[in-house]
Amino acid sequence: MTEQLRLMAVHAHPDDESSKGAASMAKYVAEGVDVLVATCTGGERGSVLNPKLQGNPEVEANLPQVRRKEMDAAREILGIKHAWLGFVDSGLPEGDPLPPLPEGCFALVPVEEAAEPLVRLIREFRPHVITTYDETGGYPHPDHIMTHTITMAAFEAAGDPAAYPESGEPWQPLKVYYNHGMSMARIRALHAYLMEHGHESPFGEWIADWDKEGRREREFTTRVQCADWFDVRDGALIAHATQIDPDGPWFLVPLDVQREIWPTEEYELARSLVDTSLPEDDLFAGITVDITV
């Protein structure tokens, strides 16, 4: 039986899917791949980041519902399927010392319990490839770190008949990747362009902090050529209107310039059950077209 290739991206909050790997997903959709985004939380404890909507009482009073509508709009733009895992946003604790996380939030759910809805979804959708965050979460938000944790647990459990026997027929994904939607190499390239052309760069402080901390870039194993879908990515980002200002600094670099200086999205292969050669240019490298079940 010939199967359609399937890709699942697991994210923490609505809007994460549009800022991390969105152009890749749009490219795969255009090529006939079935793509599903699983969003762990509703972003209930997020803030209105777009200054144009800050202070809007209707938006701020109904932020969870607004963010769901934004996610649906982004889903349509990207051409993907979408599922909510149903957990509650943990918020981003700030201060010294950090305050405790709120009771009942995603990051405090026991891993075995939190992984179950994702295991069930994997068994229903049967992805060949899964993408998520690395063990740092990409940045230290507790929901991003928890998303990594349950994704890796679910990758291992979904194909095990003894694990979560009430949660569907076993299905083993073949590869799992960490996405690096805003790699420091890409940020440096965009920063250099802006500075060379006399523009203010939003990336200078970010780069300075990175260098001051002596942080190292993650290893990229896979670069997906997806420049033709950058406009789709940006459309999906802008659909998250409470989070993204369309006139903001993220859109300073023209798309034609981005396509020229950085036409890819980067991934790190974390686990593979098929043979593949690194570096790759395709998340499905090593997976044959004829998938038999």
Would you call the peptide bond into 165 cis, given omega within 30 degrees of 0 as the criterion? no
144 carries a ligand binding annotation: yes
State how far the Cα of 17 lies from the Cα of 181, in Å rounded to an integer.
10
10 forms bridges with which residues in the sheet?
38
| DSSP H stretches of helix in the chain | 16-19, 22-30, 57-61, 63-78, 111-125, 142-157, 184-196, 204-213, 230-239, 255-261
In angstroms, the CA 129 to CA 274 distance is: 11
Phi, psi of 111 (to 5 degrees): -55, -45
Nearest Cα residue to 229 out of 82, 79, 117, 92: 79
The answer to whether 11 is annotated as binding is no
Query: Tokens 């399937």 — which residue?
Result: 6
Residue 13 is labelled as binding a ligand: yes
What 8-state DSSP symbol labels residue 280?
A: B
Q: Cα–Cα–Cα angle for 286, 80, 12, nearest 5°? A: 85
Question: Residue with structure tokens 């994997």?
Answer: 122
3-state secondary structure of 68: helix
Closest C-alpha among 285, 288, 270, 9 to residue 130: 9
What's the CA gap between 35 and 232, in Å, rounded?
15
Q: Residues within the annotated binding site for Zn(2+)?
A: 13, 16, 144
Q: Residues within the annotated binding site?
A: 13, 16, 144
